[in-house]
A and B are shown apart, each in its own frame.
Chain A
């Protein structure tokens, strides 16, 4: 339970009081049938910061991401998010009836040309599949297309909902590396929801553990980039976080 001072909540987003933050959430509550999945949650994300959000399944981390994405408005509390934000979901969610490049441009204001899509696809290494139908892409390719679709919006906040969850081990490593590179190049704030502790420690500046509807634990990751998973400090951080999540790692941490 959050023990902070309970602030008066306003259902609509108040005017941006703190423009220095990419995300400002205060006293956020989201209930399903009277049960608060998110309970007076506080969260701040700095511009350009990479934050990973860990938690057991069902802890509300995906709900929080959906709220930040603006897809869930049945909320109480203050939520400030950048106007320009983009989401990549666990399933790529490409429109199967639009070619890859049209998917990338979907929903963009104005009438951006194909070159804009090509540029974004090139950035994720998918420029050779510009004209493909989404159903002909492999899992990793589809996920990269989904990333390109998010990046082409030039977001100030990129929301990633377990984007590597459905990928095979090798593809996942490549995709993680790609996200790390893109983040460093773009400098946007990233909120990565994941259940993979290693992934969180590998990519994030700060790892949050969500439990009981609030951010229950916060862990700064000060390791140099690119990070080495064989680094003992990496293993220690990973073990500590796993412990927070209730996984016994005595054997590994020893």
Chain B
């Protein structure tokens, strides 16, 4: 900060100012403009879409000029066309249906197992002693590494694929539900006790609602992992599903089909995220952060 001292020949001030408070120093004043006046006219969503659109245009340009050949990466136009064809002949919808079924089954099983184990170890001390240590040990095993074992156990049908997804889903849910249960404010538990709630009442009215935010965070992680597990599971020994489409496309060097499948995965992931966020908005409306705009 610089304070410029006034030159001695400053214009005459009123006579009383002989103290050190002689404010003849010229202060450099700048106007502070309201934030709204600096904002540009272009709306935010438009600016945010500009980047991706430019990227897409660049991609199309590179493809059209032949810099990017089709066996490296197909052009956006070509991909859109292939997507249309795949939808029209029914192969993409049926593959999506198969994949969705696998994820749904794995997710449902994993949710039951993960939440169930977390309830046992979260609510009962004996449960914690019996369940927590093995689960913590198992969770350090990369589940993808179990694919060979699962194929030996469950064959090459749907079972090993669903099992891999189940396994991937179980651990994040377990960890978050367990942490959620154990993280419930002890003061609230005590308040519940003082209100005469029974043990069951405490679990129902205090512990479980208190663990819900953690559980939903776990569900979100689980969904992400479910898609990942699906990709892995479907690239080994699959004869249907999106992963199968991709493997097939790889054999024929069809980069366009591969990209279409990747986009489908992305959209399915987005859709799943949307569902969890809607759930959060619905179930956690008591939190001021979820007033839902």
How far does the alpha carbon of A95 sit from the alpha carbon of B211 in the complex, in Å? 12
A96 to B212, CA, bound (A): 12
Residue B286 interfacial (CB < 8 Å):
yes
Pairwise interchain contact B288-A136, C-beta atoms closer than 8 A: yes
Q: Do A135 and B286 touch (CB < 8 A)? A: yes
A93 with B188: CB separation less than 8 A = yes
Contact A107 B197 (CB under 8 A): yes
A70 within 8 A of B: yes
B210 touching A97 by the CB < 8 A rule?
Answer: yes
Residue pair B194, A70 in contact (C-beta under 8 Å): yes
CB distance B287 to A96 under 8 Å? Answer: yes
In the assembled complex, the Cα of A219 lies from the Cα of B244 at a distance in Å of: 85
Total count of chain A residues near the partner, CB < 8 A: 23
Flag if A106 contacts B187 (CB, 8 Å): no
> Cβ of B287: which chain A residues have Cβ within 8 Å of it?
96, 135
With A96-B287, A97-B210, A133-B286 already in contact, the answer to whether A106 and B194 are too (CB < 8 A) is no
B150-158, B201-209, B251-259, B274-282: which lies at the A interface?
Answer: B201-209
Question: Chain B residues near A71 (CB, 8 Å)?
Answer: 190, 193-194
Q: How far is the CA of A95 from the CA of B212 in the complex (A)?
A: 13
A89 close to B192 (CB less than 8 A): no
CB within 8 Å of B: which A61-120 residues: 69-71, 86-87, 89, 91, 93, 95-99, 106-109
Indicate if the CB atoms of A133 and B285 lie closer than 8 Å: yes
**18 interchain pairs, CB-CB under 8 A:** A70-B194, A71-B190, A86-B195, A89-B187, A89-B191, A93-B188, A98-B205, A98-B286, A99-B286, A106-B192, A106-B197, A107-B195, A107-B205, A108-B196, A134-B286, A135-B286, A136-B288, A153-B196
Shortest beta-carbon contacts, A-B, top 3: A107-B195, A93-B191, A97-B209
> Which residues of A approach B to under 8 Å, CB–CB?
69-71, 86-87, 89, 91, 93, 95-99, 106-109, 133-136, 149, 153
